[in-house]
Structure 1
Amino acid sequence: MTAFWCESAWLTGGFARRVRLVTQDGLIKDVLVDADPQPDDVRLPGVTLPGMANAHSHAFHRALRGRVNGGGGNFWSWREQMYAAAEQLNPDTYFALARAVFAEMVQAGITVVGEFHYVHHRPGGHPYGDPNAMGLAVRQAADEAGIRLTLLDTCYLEGGLNGGGHVELHPGQRRFSDGTVEAWAARMSERRGETDRVRLGAAIHSVRAVRREDLPRVVEAAGDLPLHVHLSEQHGENLACQMFYGASPTQLLDEAGALGAHATAVHATHLEDRDIDLLGGTGTGACFCPTTERDLADGIGPARALHDAGSPLSLGSDQHVVIDPFEELRGLEMHERLVTNERDRFSANDLLLAASFNGYRSLGWSDGGHLSKGALADFVTVRTDTVNTAGAAHDQIIYACVASDVSTVVVGGDVVVSDGRHRMGDVGRLLVGAIDRVTGGVPA
């Protein structure tokens, strides 16, 4: 049993001061408010928040940060550079990169990650001796970095979609594909089981990558697992889908039975009113990735409209142009301010729910992301005396803090980050070494 005395904390019932969180066996055993610290308590000065959830991650994209700007272009040209990075991955290099990226996440205050995993095979598409070798590398990386993981095994069968139909796989996509839904489902069924730190999920890459007739079979194979899907990130996807299928991507997913409380639509940027009604009416979650959506010039999605329609909102760092959960949650609000010319489109509690509980829920961890008795003992403490947070009201700290203001991160009752330092040591050095192995150490 370990007790943590928090100067202040954001509990499920609201903001409170002088809080003792008593943990045992990875869970919060008791929550005491207006409590005095005891001699053996771990003291957490600052503001303690529920652990942050990164509901959408492609760990290997981190190798592209600061290397793919200049020359104009858009999402589609960026994608070619992403394929080139993917070609350099193998189980060893992917393990090293994912471990460093996950450590960067934990140091930033993220305690659970949903890895949208589609780099399954060797370049060219031939399987490894263990067909889940890449997924196992991701699992080992998360374990060593001290982060919870939902491995979202992704079905990726087609090269894309245009007005004339689906196209063949790009050479850079071949290692993503199992060839058929049945082969994907068979490989997925061989994945190692869940642990107290790993849960399993499934994903449809997009309606570009899975044909209409294949979507119901993916849904059936996924069963009751969390199911994530890239949805309407680009105008081009919507146009091609309408031209070839006469329906929106959201309508195709609804027709296939893919929507519901177990499902999360990632990005959900370019939606019609009927799409919003379908997502909200089925309780389908929507995961926004504000820093990626603006970096790739994707657009600003209808976050408030989805929230009002009934879609729980969550957040992800996607391609990791930034790993900072506070930047993502502020981005959700600030993008709304830009398109509406109104402030406070979401309350602070709404934003914290998106960054914590809703993200945990979307990844199959409804027992986490909240500071209450019986919940997972995952929490994050933010300093209030930094150049960013000095003077900020404790109950408005999320509008001021950044990742580097995180002092302590606890996952399952274990202290993984203390005094702003990850237990593995210098995360920057880990990142440099891992990225050099993917890029050959050659500057962009």
Structure 2
Amino acid sequence: MQQVWAETALTADGWQNHVLVTIDNTGTIASVKADSGPAGHRTGILLPAPVNLHSHAFQRAMAGLTEARGPDPSDSFWTWRQLMYRFLDQLTPDHIEAITAFVQMEMLEAGYAAVAEFHYLHHQPDGTPYDDVAELSHRVCAAASETGIGLTLLPVLYEHGGCDGRALGAGQKRFGNTPEQYARLQQAAAKAATALPDDTIVGVAPHSLRAVSREGLKSANWLATDTPIHMHLAEQVAEVEEVEAAWGQRPVDWLLSHHKVDERWCLIHCTQMTPEETIGLAATGAVAGLCPITESSLGDGIFDGVRYVDAGGRFGVGSDSNIRISLAEELRTLEYSQRLRDKGRAMLATPDKSTGRILYDGVCAGGAQAAGRNSGSIAPGGLADLVSLDAGHPNLAGRSGDALLDSFIFAGGNGLVSDTWAAGRYCVHEGNHMARGRIIQRYLDTIKSLDNTL
């Protein structure tokens, strides 16, 4: 048993003072008691720690390398993608493990307790499988073992280079599998994950309607009998046009018409939806996986958040390309995108809850659902995914209740995070990961060995 005591905490019953959280040896919250005397680890402000629901870990190492305009005058997601392909061709399994550990460390230091890793890098650069088809899944798991982060591993099915079924291009060969090969890969990944704690989940991820066949999507769905299903959907205008031309409907419309989309599904981005599609997706109970920093970086567009939330839609956030790891900034960017589009303020707030509270409650619940993780609130029976904020930080001076969340999200950032627990594993102390020095050194050695010019 371990105990965490907080001056104030956002529990399943709302804000409470002098809260004592007792955690059993499985990482589960055994009890939550307000108005208790100090005991165990003492902290100022205790919150449930959300899940980062969408990450491509290896892309962290190319952050900052794609900000110069190339020879194409219409630089876009599609030109960025070519640069990404060139970068990943040089990555070895050792590189991938070191980069993944580094970004997981940053996630924990930003206040995330877990990550859903959308893992599509499977093979050698020429497309030849490793001797162990799940070699790179093993590396993701090894990084999680080192960092302590909660992991939902999502091996990705990637069949072809476009809706016309064209062969994978040079930069995509590391991703490719047939549905039959993918089934073996997914099983091998699940076996690799058995080395991790019991809160580890392995789901499935058909990449997108551009990259999988109808048969592949059905096969992946069949594999996910009771585990999460994640898929990119309706991110770019050109993608929507390609899918509509080949599949006869817009991506969201097609998926909702042809598959039973329910609480197991997490649809990533969805920045290109009609109002009818937005309301339709909200009604399914699926989670919209939003990645506001990456969507801003790549010029994807703005998610129709106000309409979606008003319709009861569930959502979470992820760091996707990992150009910047900041829970507070993801939430701030999401809200500010709505303000810029609609020329208003406090767009997602309600009469009884502030913007920060709506955002934070939403990503805690949505991220846990998307990851298949029993977390998202400070309540008995749930995993002890917890984050504490520095109550003495100037940005939180004089604040209480929901104003603490508003100040963290809109005036603060990573510097306010003090401690993080993932299923009771104490990973971050006073803002620093327990293995920070070792993880950073391995990352630096990796970066020095790479060609960092794109």
Partner of 2:5: 5
Matching residue within 410, 418, 434 for 2:421: 410
Partner of 2:445: 433
> TM-score when scaled to structure 2?
0.91
Deviations 1:283-321 (A, max 9, x none): 121011110110111111112222233331110010111
Deviations 1:243-286 (A, max 9, x none): 22220111332344252110011001000123223312221210
**Structure 2 gaps, min length 5:** 349-354
- Code of the aligned partner of 1:35: S
Q: Please say if residues 219 and 256 of structure 1, whose CA atoms lie closer than 8 Å, have aligned partners that are also in contact.
A: no
Deviations 1:404-423 (A, max 9, x none): 22111112223211111111
- Code of the aligned partner of 2:51: A
- The alignment partner of 2:335 has SS state of helix
- The alignment partner of 1:143 has SS state of helix
> TM-score when scaled to structure 1?
0.93
Q: Does 1:62 align with 2:51?
A: no
| Pairs within 5 Å for 1:154-303 | 154-161=156-163, 165-178=164-177, 180-191=178-189, 192=191, 194=194, 195-257=197-259, 259-303=261-305
Partner of 2:15: 15
Partner of 2:351: none
394-403 vs 109-118, which deviates more? 394-403
Partner of 1:378: 385
| Pairs within 5 Å for 1:39-58 | 41-45=40-44, 47-58=45-56
Partner of 2:376: 369
- The alignment partner of 2:204 has SS state of strand
CA gap of 1:288–1:144, structure 2 versus 1, over 3 A, is: same
Give the distance between the partners of 2:271 and 2:42, measured in 1 at CA. Answer: 42
Query: What is the deviation of 1:106?
Result: 0.9
Partner of 2:352: none
- The alignment partner of 2:128 has SS state of coil
Q: Please say if residues 219 and 258 of structure 1, whose CA atoms lie closer than 8 Å, have aligned partners that are also in contact.
A: no
Q: Please say if residues 103 and 422 of structure 1, whose CA atoms lie closer than 8 Å, have aligned partners that are also in contact.
A: yes
Partner of 1:360: 368
Q: Please say if residues 420 and 427 of structure 2, whose CA atoms lie closer than 8 Å, have aligned partners that are also in contact.
A: yes
Q: Percent identity?
A: 34
CA gap of 1:200–1:213, structure 2 versus 1, over 3 A, is: closer
Q: Please say if residues 159 and 169 of structure 1, whose CA atoms lie closer than 8 Å, have aligned partners that are also in contact.
A: yes
**Structure 1 gaps, min length 5:** none
- Code of the aligned partner of 2:390: R
Partner of 1:398: 405
- Code of the aligned partner of 2:431: G
Q: Please say if residues 235 and 269 of structure 2, whose CA atoms lie closer than 8 Å, have aligned partners that are also in contact.
A: yes
Deviations 1:146-190 (A, max 9, x none): 1000001111011123xxx34321111011011x21221122123
- The alignment partner of 2:362 has SS state of helix
- The alignment partner of 1:8 has SS state of strand
Give the distance between the partners of 1:92 and 1:429, measured in 2 at CA. Answer: 13
Deviations 1:43-69 (A, max 9, x none): 112x21101210000001101111110
Partner of 2:433: 422
- Code of the aligned partner of 1:409: T
Q: Does 1:28 align with 2:39?
A: no
CA gap of 1:246–1:172, structure 2 versus 1, over 3 A, is: same
Query: What is the deviation of 1:429?
Result: 4.1
Q: Please say if residues 29 and 380 of structure 2, whose CA atoms lie closer than 8 Å, have aligned partners that are also in contact.
A: yes
Deviations 1:374-430 (A, max 9, x none): 111110011133354344445322333311221111122232111111110335444
- The alignment partner of 2:138 has SS state of helix
Q: Please say if residues 384 and 392 of structure 1, whose CA atoms lie closer than 8 Å, have aligned partners that are also in contact.
A: no
299-308 vs 262-271, which deviates more? 299-308
